[in-house]
Structure 1
Amino acid sequence: MSSLELVVAVGLAVLIGTGAASRLRSAPPVLLLIAGVLLGFVPALREVHLPPEAVLLLFLPVLLYWEAFMSSLREIRSNLRVITLLSTVLVVATAAGVAAAAHALGMGWGPAWVLGAAVAPTDATAVGVLGRMLPRRIATMLRAESLVNDGTALVIYTLALGVTLGEEHLSVGRVAGLFALSYLGGIAAGLAVTFLILQIRRRLTDPFLHNLLALVTPLAAYLLAETAEVSGVLAAVVSGLWVGRVSPRLFSGSARRFVQSNMNFLTQLANAALFVLVGLEAQSAVRGLHSGGLIHSLLVAGAVCAVIVAVRFGWLFTSPYLIRALDRRPQQRERRLSGRPRALMSAAGFRGAVSMAAALAVPHTLPSGAEFPDRELIIFVTAIVIAVTLVVQAPLMPRVMRWAGLGADDEPERERRQAEIISMDHALASLPDLAAELGTGKDVTDQLRTEYDRRLRVLRDGDASSGPDEAAADYEQQYADLHLAVIDHRHDTVVRMRDDGEIDDEVLRRVQDGLDLEQVHMAQRRDNNAKQ
């Protein structure tokens, strides 16, 4: 099958899987994974394999960059200790537990550690889908964990692979040095590339060039880090955090909107395509097993799944007591999570495309020419682990969330309203000076003041019977609906004028561009209000 036919097949799978998920109100990764498995039954696709470098060099940097860009640096800083422990100690513990279980079931220590490293990190894309439904603090911890833990897992993976190939000899100093070099070097690479690109972007006004450099930034940071044999994952994450922090000050609104629109589309498409390709590889892994080893392979996969879940639950329910014994500050006690939120975090340990890419990257042969031991078993078990976490754990998450009793997080909404009120107050106070500076007429100034006064009144007071939030939401909903209806009516009118020959097609397009921009803005305003 040609590459074009594969692209079309994956595109159709993404279209059908995403559409079905929307109708069935299911998590898209689940149906996309199933769609990929079903594609594997097409004879022409049976020999198609996902190149590991496609994930590690093309998909992963951009996805991690954008997840980091959209993350809250304030929340990451306030939960840094928990995130650091989740993305380092928990990853090492998970890899060790999986390696011990696999070795007990017949795998050599080298391949067992390779398997452990492959399945240890959680997946940023799968966690990102779930994170939209969670309170901000928990979502931030899960997202940040999945952004950083790939770096830890890939160091373990490199060590385990080197030992198995006879190219690496372990010692405490060697392991500590590799971890330090990987983390510090990755951070340095991300900072260096981002600094250079920001110097360019701050001088640009063309939104297209901003979008191009937004794509180049994570790829360049990752490539530099990998060339220096340090963590490309951390390079992409640091880059995304930095650009996300300075973007409001350095770039124009048009550039930010253009980049965000395009990056949202590209990352959503890449996420969906990755899950389809993982499903395709999972089906291929089953076919790659020897018929006599299927039962044993399923036993190993079941044991590994059990270990992953047990280690994660064990860590999240024991580490708080260790932290409590070491840190008894009042502010630390206030931030402790109860048992049910910790159970929710424990159940959110999804695996995804990075694990599959690591498994597929295992070489076929040793330097001696012999086959790499248990390579097909590593791929098979990794595929089963991904499938179990996405097909079994993900559908259970809404029930776990209800059981955990986590209500809607109203803190972001409170902060949003506060920011709008304060910014409007300051703007109204500055309005006479701004109008005088721009030479704006009194009628225009009074009209803008009236609009801002109305919005402030709705935000502050609301309706006595429904409360400020409900009244503001109801007002904004009615306003947006009426405004959209007016825009549709105007559009129908100019189209009819074009059809009647009163205006030219070029004139229609110019008017339509303005109406479309207004419609997009108002629809986004309505949708944002509906989500609050």
Structure 2
Amino acid sequence: MNGLEVAVLVGAVMLVGGVIAQKLRVSGPIVLLILGGAIGFIPLFDEIQLPPDLVLLLFLPAILYWESINSSLREMRRNLRVIVLQAVPLVLVTAGVVAVIGHAFGLPWSVAIALGAIVAPTDATAMASVAGRLPRRPLTILRAESLINDGTALAVYAVAVTASVAERTIQLGEGVLQFVLAYAGGITIGVAVGFVVVLIRRVLSNRLLANTLSVLTPFLVYLPAELIGVSGVVAVVTAGLVISHYTPRIVDASARTQVFGFWGLTSYLLNGSLFVLVGLELHAVIAEIDGDWETVLTLGLLTALAVMAVRLAWSFTTPYLIRAIDRRPSQRARRVGARQRLPIAWAGFRGAVSLAAALALPTTVQSGEQFPGRNLIIAVTTIVILVTIIVQGSTMGAIVRWARFPADDKAEEEYRMAEDRALTAVLDALPREADRIGAPQELRDLLEREYSERLDEFRRQGDDLDDRADGDDVDREGPLRLALLTIKRETVIGLRDRGEIDDAVMRRIQSRIDLEELRLSRSMPDEG
């Protein structure tokens, strides 16, 4: 099948799978994985394979970039210790435990460590499937972890594969140095490219050109990082966080609405197609196995059990070690019980990045011999993906319900405070903006009465307020209303900058401001 036929097939499977998942109220990734696997065994489609370069060079940068620009930098800073512990040491421990198991089954140490690195990271795509089920803090931890841990795992993977191909043992000092350089270099490139993109966006007035830059950004970050041998994953995530912090002030409403619509749809298509492609790969994995199936299944199930058990053990031991060391009142206030930690521990889905890394293993080593255990590693990785997504994914809803998370009212409180402050700032700025624009007194009185009533109504009810004007005289009212919307936006962004509200709260209010700004702009006649 050619590329277009494969794209149409994957899209059709996504559409059908999405309908089935909605009707049966089950996780979409599970349905897509099963459908893809079933179709892969049909002779007409048995030649479709998942190109590892497609995932590592196209899908991964785009998915990570979208997730990072939708992340909350404030919440990540507040939970930085937990995120780092899960994204770095937990990945290393998991890789180590899996390596011991792999070595016990006859894999050389460097190859066994490569297997451990392949199955160690959780999957950002799979994490998106549980986004609506968790409160803000655990969701932030899981999303940030899944963004960063790919960088940890792929750095270890590179060290292990290099040693395997050279048919030598891994040098600990060299490996540690490569790992540190991969992270430091990725952060450096991410910050540098992120600020360059921000500077370019400041001078790009053409909406289409600006959004073209947005589409190119993850690849402009990822490719240079990978070419010089540092972590492209860390670079993309870092750049995304930098850009998401600065662009609310430099991107206009029309460009922001367009680019968010594009990335929302693109992310959905990329995420869904990855699960379909992983399912389609099952037949190829089975066809390439040339060893003892009992050994393959045993190692695969043991590896899946290990990655799940290590994560559970980590989640129920490290918090108590931290409590023994850090006894500050501020940290005690952030503690959660074992019941609320279980969803984080259980959300250890593995996905397409793991399979792509396994498929990207070289076929031969330096001496010309076949890469040891390559087919076995691919099969084991596939088993781990299937077990974690089906077992953990299908039970995640029940686990979240059992956790009985307390009501998370903080975001709603921040929203109410931000809306109140913004409306108050608009009322305070109205006389000044009216004088600047030269608005007539009757319009000043009209808008002052309207915004005062809106603020009173919000304080009484606290519901979302529609920013649409009640009046229809857009030609006369439009310039002043647009100026007041700018005041409101600046107030909300300022609250975000000072850490008083979350990025998600800012985006919630900003999206409504953007819609009203677009309505006013389109209704007003063009000058000249």
Structure 1: distance between partners of 2:156 and 2:285: 23
TM-score (norm 2): 0.86
Q: Give the match's secondary structure for 1:132.
A: helix
* 2:346 corresponds to 1:384: no
Match of 1:215 in 2: 215
Structure 2: distance between partners of 1:322 and 1:407: 24
Q: Give the match's secondary structure for 1:346.
A: helix
Higher mean C-alpha displacement, 296-305 vs 203-212: 203-212
Return the letter of the residue paired with 2:432: D
* 2:36 corresponds to 1:36: yes
After TM superposition, list the pairs within 5 Å mapping 1:123-522 onto structure 2: 123-166=123-166, 169-290=169-290, 293-462=292-461, 469=462, 472=463, 521=515
Structure 1: distance between partners of 2:353 and 2:441: 60
Aligned 8 A contact 1:88 1:152 in 2: yes
Superimposed CA distance per residue, residues 110-155 of structure 1 (whole angstroms, 9 cap, x where no aligned partner): 3222111100000111112212321111111111111111111011
Structure 2: distance between partners of 1:31 and 1:443: 60
Structure 2: distance between partners of 1:377 and 1:314: 27
Return the letter of the residue paired with 1:85: L
* 2:62 corresponds to 1:59: no
Match of 2:5 in 1: 5
Structure 2: distance between partners of 1:312 and 1:84: 14
Structure 1: distance between partners of 2:169 and 2:394: 43
Q: Give the percent of matched residue pairs that are identical in Structure 1 and Structure 2.
A: 46
How far 1:45 moved relative to its partner? 2.0
Aligned 8 A contact 2:21 2:31 in 1: yes
Structure 2: distance between partners of 1:382 and 1:327: 38
Match of 1:528 in 2: none
Superimposed CA distance per residue, residues 439-498 of structure 1 (whole angstroms, 9 cap, x where no aligned partner): 223443344334323332232113xxxxxx5xx36x87xx99x9xxxxxxxxxxxxxxxx
How far 1:6 moved relative to its partner? 0.8
Structure 2: distance between partners of 1:426 and 1:106: 69
Return the letter of the residue paired with 2:315: L
Q: 1:304 to 1:438 in 2, by over 3 A?
A: same
Q: 1:170 to 1:110 in 2, by over 3 A?
A: closer
Aligned 8 A contact 2:109 2:169 in 1: no
Structure 1: distance between partners of 2:197 and 2:167: 37
How far 1:169 moved relative to its partner? 4.5
Return the letter of the residue paired with 1:84: V
Return the letter of the residue paired with 1:357: A
Aligned 8 A contact 1:55 1:353 in 2: yes
Return the letter of the residue paired with 1:458: E
Structure 1 gaps of 5+ residues are 463-468, 483-516, 523-532
Return the letter of the residue paired with 1:371: Q
Match of 2:106 in 1: 106
Q: 1:112 to 1:428 in 2, by over 3 A?
A: same
Q: 1:213 to 1:23 in 2, by over 3 A?
A: same
Superimposed CA distance per residue, residues 203-249 of structure 1 (whole angstroms, 9 cap, x where no aligned partner): 11222112111111110111110011000000000010000000111
Aligned 8 A contact 2:197 2:243 in 1: no
Moved >6 Å (runs of 4+): none
Structure 1: distance between partners of 2:293 and 2:407: 45
Return the letter of the residue paired with 1:453: S
How far 1:168 moved relative to its partner? 5.3
Structure 2: distance between partners of 1:168 and 1:84: 31
Match of 2:97 in 1: 97
> RMSD value over aligned CA atoms?
2.4
Structure 1: distance between partners of 2:379 and 2:63: 25
Higher mean C-alpha displacement, 181-190 vs 198-207: 198-207
Q: Give the match's secondary structure for 1:301.
A: helix
How far 1:521 moved relative to its partner? 4.8
Structure 1: distance between partners of 2:448 and 2:42: 64
Q: Give the match's secondary structure for 2:205.
A: coil
Aligned 8 A contact 1:211 1:262 in 2: no
Structure 2: distance between partners of 1:30 and 1:246: 37
- Number of paired residues? 477
Q: Give the match's secondary structure for 1:202.
A: helix
How far 1:302 moved relative to its partner? 0.8
Return the letter of the residue paired with 1:260: F
Structure 1: distance between partners of 2:19 and 2:449: 43
Aligned 8 A contact 2:434 2:444 in 1: yes
